[in-house]
Structure 1
């Protein structure tokens, strides 16, 4: 009898490991010496078997080719990939794995590969189906699995644009939607390590005699070095799947703190602390690996939540470097470039005159202004006047990330119908309310209210003349927002109402 081939021994080891759940023992044995874990979900595509004793085993290619699939216990049930049952079993297991990773190797970097199945090969032909599954169908099925894995593992996600991904008809393993052209692997290596990879089989590959690595396919690479040997991480940190998947982007003094507080009571929603606020307003932060690591660490706390939000009152502000505002970095472009293209952006907008007056007194209490200056003489750096030019700021965001992603809520609803306002936000995020959620909310409690500001405001009010000038300044912006939200905003457009609301009684 011929000795078993290296490939057959590899299959046997894979299948035996799956049945024995060997990952647990590997983590306890080697976890402390591991500095990088690379995760690829492609082998999930065939689903899993639910065995009669309640345990599960992945239906892998190795399981099929080894022949072990034919000897599964009677009553074993195949759970197809992409079904709700499979997703629920798999998500529970993935969250468990994330906990084990954190327990046994908290120092390790976990990288998740998010590479679409190629619909076309580099030769220009369509890729074949894999076990009856087309590439386009597989890509849509994989998306929620990628999102769950990224959250559960606290992983840095390495992605390529689907347009960049092609299969390689001369791939050593044969033509398949996930057997990529060599340039796809090389680009993935570059994004993973920051350095160029080595050509293995294409033009420029080393002759066989010079290769030190086996040509047998390797399923996982774990770097095991002592702590003193480990280099500083060069893994690019992917914000798209590990960071926030919704934003409350402003405006200042518009009720965003109150909204963030209410949403945080929902069991499916995690709101990052103020430590994360304003990250996308500074390129020094989102281009720095250290700063990005700190930012993502905030969201690891919410990895068990389906939705993770960040609140920044200044994201909405698009400064133009004029007498009303300083030049500001483009937060909308940073969000477009670094977050998932489906990330909703919530704006809570307040009557721009009242917002300016509230910001004026907030800055006064903060020591940024003195009582001798008119509201129109406030430093441009405060944005007191410029933040109220809602049309300019909204159009910039809509043009940058797409109007379908930008959602406007009206601050007045917090006062008139706070529960209805929260329901609007939940609807935007696609989550349902429950009585348990409402029991936790603090709808009638104000956030960031200063009694000291109230006292100063009564003694030194913004004059009626200044209020009238502000109202005239914002007329077109008020009309624009009325058009966007599809309703009249009489409390904004009526000058008498505005003056009455902002003059102390």
Structure 2
């Protein structure tokens, strides 16, 4: 049940946990409409909220008749930084379906750091950034992020999914997500859409560089006179040279930080979870609420 023109479901996070992949796969199914932009952040960001409900409704105005409407905004689970998402969603949406994707919290943290690096949000190495950027840890405290949504909407309104199982069993997990949002037609996983938002393929943000290179004359010169091997070598200077590596000591410290939250999450899901068994546990079978 939903107000006319508003979404039937939200993908509420977590950041760097395959939300872009699931968004793309759902958008590829006839009969499911995903908003553009992918992350409206309407309920979380004050400037977006101030645009008003009519602006938010307009994001779904081109949905075909009878389509199931959705959007994906990872800002909705970024406590404590964006605390108003739940209350705003509660006052706006009637019985929405909510999908929350999770990933091994340490691996999520590494991808989050890479994302910040590409956006020029951090310059220091990852092990220096962790104590200075608490969101690297906080956004991976899944039980903490989920509790307000459970309190507001109930567990029955939330589907917990895991990036590791989505990668291992994509068709099955897509079917689970589709059934959860009330889509009763067959769905098909599109392998060509499987890899989305890969940090290793992106260039570090540099607006001045982009303005220069996007000039039509310079773009033509670059394509016709500069060999591809030279262009690739220059491009690599703007890419993260390798996925950041954590020391064994830092991994152990992070595991000690994340394990209490994972224990709470495991209790909610009726299983034991910690950093050591996370991947095996979430891949083994679909996990639902206890």
Tell me if TM exceeds 0.5: yes
Residue aligned with 2:69, SS: strand
> How far has the Cα of 1:452 moved from its partner?
5.2
- Confirm whether residue 293 of structure 1 aligns to residue 47 of structure 2: no
Q: 2:159 aligns with which of 388, 407, 429?
A: 407
Equivalents in 2 of 1:336, 1:348: separation in Å?
20
Equivalents in 2 of 1:255, 1:410: separation in Å?
8
Matches within 5 A, 1:132-151: none
Equivalents in 2 of 1:421, 1:263: separation in Å?
11
Matches within 5 A, 1:307-456: 307-319=68-80, 326=81, 328-340=82-94, 342-372=95-125, 374-380=128-134, 383-434=135-186, 437-438=187-188, 441-442=190-191, 445-451=194-200, 455-456=240-241
> How far has the Cα of 1:413 moved from its partner?
0.9
Partner of 1:83: none
**Taking structure 1 as reference, are residues 347 and 278 closer, same or farther at Cα in structure 2, changes over 3 Å only?**
same
**Taking structure 1 as reference, are residues 448 and 366 closer, same or farther at Cα in structure 2, changes over 3 Å only?**
same
Structure 2: unaligned runs, 5 residues or longer: 203-238, 281-290
**Taking structure 1 as reference, are residues 282 and 495 closer, same or farther at Cα in structure 2, changes over 3 Å only?**
closer
> How far has the Cα of 1:465 moved from its partner?
1.6
Q: Cα RMSD over matched residues?
A: 2.7
> Does the 8 Å contact 2:13/2:100 carry over to 1?
yes
Partner of 1:156: none
**Taking structure 1 as reference, are residues 432 and 495 closer, same or farther at Cα in structure 2, changes over 3 Å only?**
closer
Partner of 2:263: 479
Partner of 2:225: none
**Taking structure 1 as reference, are residues 450 and 284 closer, same or farther at Cα in structure 2, changes over 3 Å only?**
closer
Residue aligned with 2:59, SS: helix
- Confirm whether residue 245 of structure 1 aligns to residue 8 of structure 2: yes
**Number of residue pairs aligned between Structure 1 and Structure 2:** 243
TM-score between both structures, scaled by the size of structure 2:
0.75
> Does the 8 Å contact 1:348/1:410 carry over to 2?
yes
Equivalents in 2 of 1:335, 1:352: separation in Å?
26
TM-score between both structures, scaled by the size of structure 1:
0.44
Higher relative contact order (CA 8 A, sep 6+): 2
Structure 1: unaligned runs, 5 residues or longer: 1-142, 148-239, 320-325, 498-505
Point out the structure with max Rg over C-alpha.
Answer: 1
Q: 1:463 aligns with which of 247, 253, 261?
A: 247
